[in-house]
Amino acid sequence: MRRRALYVRDERGQFVPAGAEEIVAAAKAYLRSRVRRGIPLTSPQVVRDFLMVNLAERDCEYFCLLLLDTRHRLLKFVELFRGTIDRASVHVREVVKAVIEAQAAAVVLVHNHPSQVSDISAADELITRRVKDALALIEVRVIDHLLVAGSEVVSFVERGLL
């Protein structure tokens, strides 16, 4: 396979071969730009790529929300809770508060496993049920709960857990 060089401009405006860090940074910026306010989240792969870029390499657990309007367009991505290496405390009232403040009609729950193990725990299932039940009271639909474990993104819906 023939290698291709990618180039960037240096401080003098000259093209020079890009280093690995510059290529990765540019790829991350590109993926972040594909998931922004107003974009309909109709492509599961774009969402997975966005989440991997944002959460896969974190060294502690985060619980996040993708807040959506009635047409499943992104309103906001919120990193709501930061935890330790193996858990994050999730307060349902704060989830409800964030949903109401954004005037969201639907939500995708997201969290990462810094261990990069894609097993869904009983605690993961419990918090999903608690949040889903609470949001149902205010007529907000939980579309999915996604678990980011390294280069894998696991869907609770695809596993029949939601």
**Residue 18: partners with Cβ closer than 8 Å, 6 or more residues away:** 5, 6, 7, 8, 26
Strands (E), 53-130: 62-68, 74-82, 106-112
* pLDDT tens-digit map of 104-124: 999 999 999 999 899 999 999
pLDDT for 6 beyond 80: no
- In this prediction, residue 40 carries a pLDDT of 63
* pLDDT tens-digit map of 78-105: 999 998 888 889 999 999 999 999 999 9
CA distance 160 to 86: 24
Element (H, E) at 123: helix 122-137
Mean pLDDT of the chain: 86
- In this prediction, residue 154 carries a pLDDT of 93
pLDDT for 7 beyond 90: no
Full set of structural domains in the chain with CATH: 1-34 (no CATH), 39-155 (3.40.140.10)
Q: Which of 8-22, 39-53, 81-95 has the highest mean pLDDT?
A: 81-95
